[in-house]
Amino acid sequence: MTDTLHELDVRRLLCPMPVIKTQNKVRTLATGDTLKVVCTDPGALSDIPAWCRINGHEVLEMAEQGNEVFVVLRVGQDNGALF
């Protein structure tokens, strides 16, 4: 188990792309890694946490700053990797 911080920039993408890009990134990460997703789609504040609940990942933090929203998550045991 690692504890590495990663960042994903999905600014200027609209639903469902922030969730899809988050899912694709999480597949490349290890259990325990932390991912900060930076978005301009305010719907991501509900969409990404919902995806995390369904897939066993933990939301550590959510915030809005200006026109951007941030979701920080910890990758759960099943990252959805195909290999």
38, 47 contact by CB (below 8 A): no
Rounded (10°) angle between helices 17-26 and 44-55: 40
For the chain, which residues make up each domain, given as ranges?
A: 5-74
Q: Looking at the predicted structure, is the pLDDT value of residue 1 above 90?
A: no
Task: Answer whether residue 82 shows pLDDT above 90.
Answer: no
Mean pLDDT of 33-53: 97
Catalytic residue among 8, 13, 15, 38: 15
Q: Nearest to residue 67, comparing CAs of 52, 34, 35, 45? A: 45
pLDDT at 73 over 80: yes
* Whether residue 15 lies in the annotated active site: yes
In words, the CATH class of domain 5-74 is alpha beta
* Cβ–Cβ under 8 Å, residues 52 and 82: no
Predicted local confidence at residue 4, as pLDDT: 85
Q: Provide the pairing of β-strand 34-39 with 5-10.
A: parallel
Q: Bigger pLDDT: 81 or 27?
A: 27
The answer to whether residue 54 scores a pLDDT higher than 60 is yes
